[in-house]
Amino acid sequence: MIDEKKYNKKSKTNKKTKKNKNTVNKLNSIKNNPKNKKSIKLLKKQLDNPEKFKIGKIKKKDGLLFTISTRKGKHIWRLSSKKEKECHKFLENQISFYLDKYKKGEIQNNKQAFAIAYSKTKSKYPNCIL
């Protein structure tokens, strides 16, 4: 005789939904405890392939900032340091500030607004990779 439970489609889908719920629960635990090493590894796996990006690229995932660096000649994701976070936030603020000035007419070109913002951040954070 064939067991109906083994060949029941509903039981298979239930297993899949349980797996999806487990991954969602893991991600929620990551958000609550970002310093957990396992949670950081899970987040790194979900990010795009680091070989596509330049060194120093900062990407945000679930409230954490990750930076691309190299290890043994390969590009890898790692958590951003405090200085990198400060630099990135300062650059974002400067860009928005000078774009507002461009919209008001104080600056002639939007490219000029970006150039000013980048030069200000480079002068304040010379070691920051932009």
pLDDT tens readout for residues 71-97 = 788 888 788 788 888 888 899 999 999
Which residues share a beta bridge with 65?
60
pLDDT tens string 33-54: 656 666 666 666 667 777 777 7
Whether 130 is covered by a domain: the verdict is no
What 8-state DSSP symbol labels residue 50? G
Residues 106, 117 share a domain = yes
Whether 35 is covered by a domain: the verdict is yes
Crossing angle (nearest 10°) for helices 110-124 and 82-104: 150
pTM (2 d.p.): 0.56
User: Contact, 50 vs 73, CB < 8 A?
Assistant: no
Span 53-63, average pLDDT: 75
Residues 101, 53 share a domain = no
How many domains is the chain built from?
2
What is the span of the domain harbouring residue 61?
9-80
Residues 76, 13 share a domain = yes
Residues 92, 63 share a domain = no
What 8-state DSSP symbol labels residue 57? -
Place of tokens 């795009």: 48
Residues 108, 49 share a domain = no
